[in-house]
Chain A
Amino acid sequence: MIANTALAGLMLALIALLYASAVILFKRSDDRWVESARRAVQSASLLVSLALGLFVYLLLTNRVEFAAVYRVTRSTMSAVTRLTALWGGQTGSLLFWTWLLGMVALVTASVSVSSDSRQQPWLLFFGLLPFAGFLFLVLFLDNPFSRWWLLADGSSLAAVFLPGDAVTVMQPADGIGLNPLLRHPAMVLHPPVLYLGFTIFALPFAQAMAGLMTGIWNRDVLASIRRSTLVGWFFLTLGLILGSRWAYDVLGWGGYWGWDPVEIAGLLPWLTSSAALHLLAIRSRTRRRDVLILGVVLLTFCLVILGSFLTRSGILTSVHTFADSPLSPALLVLFTGVSLVSLVIWILSMKCGEKDHKPGSLSFWNVILDGSAVVLILLLVICLVGLSVPVVGEWVTGRAMIVGPAYYRQATGPLWMLLLVLTALSPLFPRRIALRYESLRAPGIALLMAVAVGLLARGALALSSGEISVVMAMTMYLLLAFLAVREGRLTSPGSHKPRVRFIGVVLIHLGVFFFASGVAGMEGQETFQATLSPGERMTAGDYSIRLDDISRQPVDEYRNVTVASVSIYDRAPDAIHRIAEVYPGLEEDLVYEQVRALPGVASSVSRDIYVLFTAWNVNGSASLRVLVNPLANCLWIGGLLMAAGALVVMIPDVFRHRNDDDLNTIKKAGQTGVADNFPGS
């Protein structure tokens, strides 16, 4: 009954969305029809929520006769792990993704995200379009409510309804269980936060499309798009950082970013949304520039669907991809369709924008922000080339091709550095470009002080050249930001305190500098390997590593863990000062026939000592790999600062939306006399 109810809910939801689409296409001038379409979208979102709730119930109760449940759960798994299994498998994660798109559609149908009611029908339409597309995939190509059926010839088949030659529903004894790599605390948060980041970009996409369709993209519309893009950017940043942390903790290779195709697919919308936020920070003077900005917003969501295609089609080899997917052609059609529709509407709007093109004066801030956006788009192009080469190369030559991390590091490195320089100079806002002594004095002093700090850091802390560059850029940025506040350029009128939004922006950029410090530090990673018997030591840079003991213990009937007890000492002449004790392990999963190394990490402000237990040899010795990762913690601090900064930037918008918008609306309405009969005024 549960599955049938959920299936009926999904089917009704799709019918409601088709109805709403038809209404908007053919009856959007009639308010009653638009209101009916709005209600249809709300109903569809709630019906999909019901289906999702029922699927979660099936996971929690271990109903392994359903194929999607069978593949990711096992009776020995805890309730929390079973919940994470929702996004641990292809089918469940697709339903979850669709539900998130449904929530975005619900927002477009329920909250006034546009200041102009003429946009409402198109906002609704482009909000429901991706929702309906993915709902179609869930219902007809990868249904979470497919059951195992026992066929007459003794084989089994997963299908929603009773196949013609099926005897009965098959009831497996237990499920396979979640992939061991996905059983990590970060997996509770990383996928949902990342998915939230991706799917929220459907909202600025719908807003931008509604703006282009109606020709209305005034200051309020662009501000609204900036707000929704920032919310998506916040979740995407947090999701990527959590993913990096998961890779660092679970994949057992001591890195945080492997330039894996799916990692890059997640980075692409981050690059374009960052570019869009930089472009939206300046008030436009021409409609042509507005259309360009809206193009970047549209591109962000197209890249989200491209990422979904790359992850779910299995076209590229990655630790993240779901293999043997039936979704590949449908996702390609969806991506092509959304991209083509966006492109056509954007090009038509671009032509309209040419009519009122007028040049404006150029401020220093324009150069910095537009320059940053251009660099981010160039990074996007490099990543797209890297992703395309293996696919196109294999298609042309017939041989498998791989684009490795070396390409990305060499091609993107100078651009990341340029981005840091632009960021360091950004607090010069809003100076005009004028080569006068007065305007160059403050930045000149800041530059000299940054160089002095860099030289001091080089002498005192023995930093690498990459780390020194980041320290200098950060110093320059902080000094210029301080000067900007002191000169009253970034304070609220009548106050000496900096604007809240500016504090948030400073936090975000400080996060960028911290993250860059971590990246520069990790470039100096040192690796040491040795095979030790209990009681023996090895040297790892400034440290002495001692293997104390090895023990083996079963976790449950399907898993064993072998743990090495390892002590880390300062490499003093006698090496007696123990600074940490870590427990790297080897986890063996009997069902997946997978062995993975669980790292033991001794973390400090300056570096992580990352110990991996790579093999337990027949003579009782253990093979250890020790990585010394300088400034690894700066990565996580930087990521969290970026996310926290985005939250602070949102604060004025929240209060402005409540106080300024509503009150001014009523006030202005009162002045114009329209609100005399307005209920609630």
Chain B
Amino acid sequence: MMGSVVITAMMLLIAAAYIARPFMTGQRGENDPGADKDGQPLREELRRRLEEEISRVREEQS
């Protein structure tokens, strides 16, 4: 019984930490090459802008 409680608590902690990671701005600072100064993941932002641009160009072409 104790074992399953420990394993459940571990699963809960790992899942919660993984799910909450996008909000953990404290771990992504100025020195983090993957984030901008506000802590936003730079790569995701660029990818989003890139996809929007590609969609716009494709719609224009079609």
Q: Which residues of A line the B interface, CB within 8 A?
A: 1, 4-5, 8-9, 12, 16, 19, 31-33, 35-36, 39-40, 42-43, 47, 115-118, 216, 218-220, 665, 668-669, 672, 674-675, 677-679
Q: Is the CB of A5 within 8 A of B44?
A: no
Distance in angstroms between the alpha carbons of A668 and B57 in the assembled complex: 9
B3, B15, B23 — most chain A CB neighbours (10 Å):
B15
Task: Give the residues from 33 to 55 in chain B that come closer than 8 angstroms, CB to CB, to chain A.
Answer: 34, 40-55
**Considering only CB atoms, which chain B residue lies closest to A41 in the complex?**
B19
Per the bound structure, the CA–CA distance linking A47 and B11 in Å amounts to 9
Q: A117 with B58: in contact, given A5-B8, A32-B22 (CB under 8 Å)?
A: no
Chain A: CB-nearest residue to B41 = A35
- Contact, CB under 8 Å: A678 / B46: yes
Q: Which residues of B contact A677 (CB under 8 A)?
A: 42, 46
Known pairs A4-B4, A5-B8; A678 contacts B54 (CB<8 A): no
Measured CB to CB, the closest approach of chain A to B49, in angstroms, equals: 6
Tell me the dominant secondary structure on chain A's binding face.
Answer: helix
Partner of B58, one of A9, A31, A32, A218: A218
| Minimum CB–CB distance for B8 against chain A, Å | 4
Task: State A42–B15 Cα separation when bound (angstroms).
Answer: 9
- Since A16-B19, A31-B48 are in contact, a sample of 19 more A-B pairs with Cβ atoms closer than 8 Å, ordered by chain A residue number, is A1-B3, A5-B7, A12-B15, A31-B40, A31-B44, A31-B45, A39-B19, A39-B21, A43-B15, A115-B51, A117-B48, A218-B59, A219-B58, A219-B62, A672-B57, A675-B50, A677-B42, A678-B50, A679-B46
Given contacts A4-B4, A220-B58, contact A116 B51 (CB under 8 A): yes
Within 8 A of A (CB), among B1-37: 1, 3-4, 7-8, 11-12, 15, 18-23, 34
Distance between B47 CB and nearest chain A CB, rounded to angstroms: 7
Binding site for A on B (CB under 8 A): 1, 3-4, 7-8, 11-12, 15, 18-23, 34, 40-55, 57-59, 62
Contact A117 B47, CB 8 Å, known A218-B62, A668-B57? yes
6 inter-chain pairs at a CB distance below 8 angstroms, sorted by A residue, are A43-B19, A116-B51, A116-B55, A218-B59, A669-B54, A679-B43
Are A674 and B11 interface neighbours, CB within 8 A?
no
Contact indicator B15/A47 (Cβ below 8 Å):
yes
Bound: A16/B15 CA distance, A:
9
B-side binding surface: helix, strand, loop or mixed? helix
Taking the closest CB of chain B, its distance from the CB of A539, in whole angstroms, is: 68
Q: Given the complex of chains A and B, what is the CA–CA distance between A5 and B1 in angstroms?
A: 10
CB distance from B52 to the nearest CB of A (A): 7
A669 touches B50 (CB 8 A): yes
B16 to chain A, nearest CB (A): 9
Closest to A6 in B: B4
A contact residues around B41 at 8 Å (CB): 35
Q: B44 to chain A: which residues have CB within 8 Å?
A: 31, 35
What are the 6 closest A-B residue pairs judged by CB atoms, nearest first? A4-B4, A8-B8, A35-B22, A32-B22, A43-B15, A117-B51
The smallest C-beta distance from A16 to any residue of chain B, in angstroms, reads 6
User: Do B42 and A679 touch (CB < 8 A)?
Assistant: yes
Shortest distance between the CB of B19 and any CB in chain A (Å): 5
Give A143 Cβ to nearest chain B Cβ, in Å. 16
CA–CA, A9 and B11, complex, Å: 8
Closest to B20 in A: A36
Closest residue on chain B to residue A30 by CB atoms: B22
Closest chain B residue to A216 by CB distance? Answer: B55
Residues of A near B53 (CB, < 8 A) are 668-669, 672, 674
For residue B53, which residue of chain A has the nearest CB?
A: A674
In angstroms, Cα B36 to Cα A31, docked, is 14
On chain B, the residues within 8 Å of A8 by CB distance are 4, 7-8, 11
CA distance A36 to B18 in the complex (A): 8
Q: Is the CB of A115 within 8 A of B12?
A: no
Is A39 touching B18 in the complex (CB atoms < 8 A)?
yes
Q: Which among A16, A40, A216, A665 is the interface contact of B50 at CB below 8 angstroms?
A: A665
Q: Could you tell me the distance between the alpha carbons of A641 and B62 in the complex, rounded to whole angstroms?
A: 36
CB atoms of B22 and A43 under 8 A apart: no
Whether the Cβ atoms of A36 and B23 lie closer than 8 Å is yes
A232–B8 Cα gap in the complex (Å)? Answer: 35
In the complex, are the beta carbons of B8 and A4 less than 8 A apart?
Answer: yes
Residues of A within 8 A of B62 (CB): 218-219
A665 to B19 alpha-carbon distance, docked (Å) = 29
Given contacts A43-B15, A665-B50, contact A32 B23 (CB under 8 A): yes
A32-B22, A675-B50 known; A115 vs B55 contact (CB < 8 Å): yes
| A32 CA / B44 CA spacing, docked (Å) | 10
Name the residue on B nearest A19 (C-beta). B19
- Whose C-beta in chain B lies nearest to the C-beta of A46? B15
**Closest B-chain residue to A23, C-beta based?**
B19
Contacts of A668 in B (CB 8 A): 53-54, 57
When the two chains form their complex, are residues B54 and A665 in contact, meaning their CB atoms are under 8 A apart? yes
**Residues of chain A contacted by B48 (CB below 8 angstroms):** 31, 117
**A87 CB, min distance to chain B CBs, angstroms:** 26
For A216, list chain B residues within 8 Å (CB). 55
Question: A219 contacts which chain B residues (CB < 8 A)?
Answer: 58, 62
Q: Shortest beta-carbon distance, A669 to chain B, in Å?
A: 5
B34: chain A residues at CB < 8 Å are: 679
Closest Cβ–Cβ distance, residue A217 to chain B (whole Å): 12
Which residues does chain A contribute within 8 Å of B49, judged by CB atoms?
A: 674
